Structure 1
Amino acid sequence: MKPFKIPESVLVVIHTPQQEVLLLERADHPGFWQSVTGSRHTPDEALVDTAAREVFEETGLAASAADFRDWEVSNVYDIYPAWRARYAPGVTRNTEHVFSLCVPQACVVTLSPREHTAWQWLSWLEAADQCFSASNAEAVLLLPQFMA
């Protein structure tokens, strides 16, 4: 049996210096666009290590912990009912920690086909409009503030 997911995750806004943002389309929900997200594998896994692992797994982009910026922003939200079975019984909320990763320019990424079917680089405002998750859209809208 697969272990339950830990209800603590990262959201990584991958962007360029020109504020282009990478979005990925979910394989299990076509039309749902998002930034890189993922849960800790163990309770003691450092959040920045979770961010680096998830970025590599979902995009093929290799980055070290020093490449990430921890925005020190956390969102607590209700887990979508469709995904609650992945968590222990009674777990209904997740805490998401926001990070960013600046890459030199928009680039080709290698998707994990199990998780995503398409990718696109958009201006930060267009990306925010495309995000299905309110917390993801809010994070993208904060990008100019965190780049200043």
Structure 2
Amino acid sequence: MVRIYKIPVSILVIIHTPDMQVLLLERADHPGYWQSVTGSQDEGETLVQTAVREVAEETGLDARRYALTDWNIVNEYEIYEEWRWRYAPEVTHNTEHVFGLLVPHPVPVSVAAREHLRHTWLPWQEAAEKVFSPSNAEAIRRLATLGGKGNNGNKGQ
């Protein structure tokens, strides 16, 4: 049996409203761990395609209906030990690309039961404190400097 490993390139999508409410998802495999939409790039996908796919898979939302923006922020971090088995044996680090998805108000979402237990919309300050990932917290704080517009990069479409 050939094992298919994850590509160590991922996206982080901060889904937010103009008044800076941020959508968070609680991980099913780690109750109490809250995060924004994240996911690894599939072979042959662009980063925008990865972002659109992951938003749809994790929330049921069609990112193409909203303002998806590449924030031109790239983070490199060491993959948590507990999740390294998903990657090739020599892989220890991941490169994460940050996007924003501006929605008009806290829209209803349907979480993927295999991945998440529940969701919540929080003011950006609370969201930044609640997420477990430092890069996720930093991206949410960055939203505040953008005034909720989340458009300091290139439009993803």
TM-score of the pair, normalised by structure 1: 0.95
Q: What residue in structure 2 maps to residue 105 of structure 1?
A: 105
Return 5+ residue gaps in structure 1 as ranges: none
CA distance in 2, matches of 1:60, 1:66: 13
Aligned length: 147
Q: CA deviation at 1:66?
A: 7.5
Q: CA deviation at 1:134?
A: 0.4
Does residue 144 in structure 1 map to residue 144 in structure 2? Answer: yes
Tell me the alpha carbon deviations over residues 112-134 of structure 1, each in whole angstroms, 9 at most, x when there is no partner. Answer: 00000010000000000000000
On the 8 A contact 2:13/2:37 being kept in 1, the answer is yes
Change beyond 3 A, Cα 1:66–1:120:
closer
Within-5 A mapping of 1:1-148: 1-42=2-43, 44-64=44-64, 67-146=67-146, 147=149
Change beyond 3 A, Cα 1:113–1:50:
same
CA distance in 1, matches of 2:66, 2:46: 13
Which aligned runs of 4 or more in structure 1 are off by greater than 2 angstroms? 144-148
On the 8 A contact 1:52/1:65 being kept in 2, the answer is no
CA distance in 1, matches of 2:73, 2:65: 17
Return 5+ residue gaps in structure 2 as ranges: 151-157
CA distance in 1, matches of 2:28, 2:134: 19
CA distance in 2, matches of 1:142, 1:129: 13
CA distance in 2, matches of 1:76, 1:86: 17
Q: CA deviation at 1:65?
A: 8.6
Change beyond 3 A, Cα 1:102–1:66:
closer
TM-score of the pair, normalised by structure 2: 0.90
Q: CA deviation at 1:145?
A: 2.2
Q: Give the fraction of aligned pairs with identical amino acids, expressed as a percent.
A: 56
Q: CA deviation at 1:26?
A: 0.2
CA distance in 1, matches of 2:95, 2:65: 20
Tell me the alpha carbon deviations over residues 31-52 of structure 1, each in whole angstroms, 9 at most, x when there is no partner. Answer: 000000000011x311011000
Q: CA deviation at 1:144?
A: 2.2
On the 8 A contact 1:72/1:97 being kept in 2, the answer is yes
Tell me the alpha carbon deviations over residues 27-83 of structure 1, each in whole angstroms, 9 at most, x when there is no partner. Answer: 0000000000000011x3110110000000000001229731100000000000000
On the 8 A contact 1:13/1:101 being kept in 2, the answer is yes
CA distance in 2, matches of 1:68, 1:106: 16
